[in-house]
Amino acid sequence: MQLEEKVSKSLYRTILCTAGFLIWWTSFFIIRTDFNNILPAYIMSDMRYLGIIVAVISLFLLDKFYLRRLIIGVAILVCILLNNDLLGNEGLYLDFSILLICAVGIDIEKFLKICFYWLLGCMVFVFICIKVKILPDEIIYSGQRYRHYLGYNWVSFAAQYYLYLIALAITVLKKRASILLIIGLELINIYIYFKTKTSSPFALTTLALFGWLLMNLGAKFMEKKLTRNLLYVIIPFGGVLVTYLSRNYLRFTELNTFLSGRLVLGYNALIKYSIGLIGKPISLSSEMNVIGQEYTFVDSSVLSYLINFGIISFLVLSIAHILLIKRAYLERKYYFLLALALVMLNGLFDPQLTEPHFNLFLITLATLFQPINKEVKS
């Protein structure tokens, strides 16, 4: 009876915390769609704070916490907050820190499962809205190609959200995904590519779907030591690599063209701000076709994080992901590792990896606040 009560309490806390997180996350999803032009701003603002309140309420259902890990974790989060929020002038890290603490001890697999179906529902709803003309499907002509926004207010958002949907699908469905389902998901990926002409997420999503198919057919490549070591270095080495390529973009002109000018944008930002040990405020414009404004946004998550928040915070981010990868290997969560690899690789040249209001997988860092089960260790 006592065990059943404990399980029930843990389930309620997971559902309540997940609901709070998704209310918070959805406020930013709405902002990234054309609903942002229809709904009053206070709705999204109220959803943001309501989500945090609901998540904090879930803490009252917490049965057990690990004091030593929690103290160390909170101390690190405070340092990150001082650096990223106060020095780097990015207020979302306060929200994320609160949500991360609230997520300690919840059932992460159930959290990701709920997030998968929620994101799927959100994307289907936006697609239906553009088909019935509730939302516009804006089209721009850029680089001798027509590109559809598909109901979002930036042309790459549909492809990026789909990439995260596939990452969640891999984590949730695992071996249950049939060959026909994976082929169907790739056909949707192709459709989004032809509509948005967004190359990088299309290629990475295709690669991940192929990897998923191979794993379901019995391939063991995610279990190899080489794969594990490669996963460890994606973020730290990726930061060094993108910085080097950006500083020397004149030697990589073809790559810069393939990456839609990302290297020269990185170079300009490095010249203007450089990389320091700690954070500093930066101002990079993402406006296009606006008189008097030049597009200067750095798309690479790792490079943007380095410039904005400095080397120390970047090392903390890298170590946190290395520990998360190590934990997943100990727990034999190979499908989760494939999904995480997709998310991290996408972050090398796109900004979503380090955006707490986009990257749903950042909440999985909450597992680092609790020890691994003895059964898993054995």
Mean pLDDT in residue range 51-70: 82
pLDDT in tens, 320-346: 999 999 999 999 999 999 999 999 999
Q: How confident is the model at residue 67 (pLDDT cuts 50, 70, 90)?
A: low
pLDDT in tens, 257-269: 888 888 999 999 9
SS3 state at 116: helix
SS3 state at 102: helix
Q: Is residue 70's pLDDT more than 80?
A: no
**Cα–Cα distance between 260 and 198 in angstroms, integer?**
10
Q: How far is CA 290 from CA 64, 287, 319, 342, in A?
A: 53, 6, 40, 33
pLDDT at 100: 92
Q: What is the enclosing helix (H) or strand (E) of 300?
A: none
High-pLDDT (> 70) share of the chain, %: 92
What does pTM read for this prediction? 0.93
pLDDT at 1: 45
163 with 346: CB under 8 angstroms? Answer: yes
- Ranges assigned E (strand) in 12-149: 139-141, 146-148
Q: Pick the more confident residue, 82 or 373.
A: 82
pLDDT in tens, 83-132: 888 888 888 888 999 999 999 889 999 999 999 999 999 999 999 999 99
196 with 140: CB under 8 angstroms? Answer: no
Q: Where are the domains of the chain?
A: 136-218, 220-378
In one letter, which amino acid is 186? E
pLDDT at 3: 47
**Cα–Cα distance between 328 and 222 in angstroms, integer?**
11
Mean pLDDT in residue range 200-208: 97
Q: Is residue 375's pLDDT more than 50?
A: no
SS3 state at 152: strand
pLDDT at 373: 60
pLDDT at 290: 55
**Cα–Cα distance between 305 and 239 in angstroms, integer?**
9
Torsions phi, psi for 368 (to 5 deg): -70, -15
Mean pLDDT in residue range 29-54: 95
Q: Pick the more confident residue, 8 or 316.
A: 316
pLDDT at 77: 81
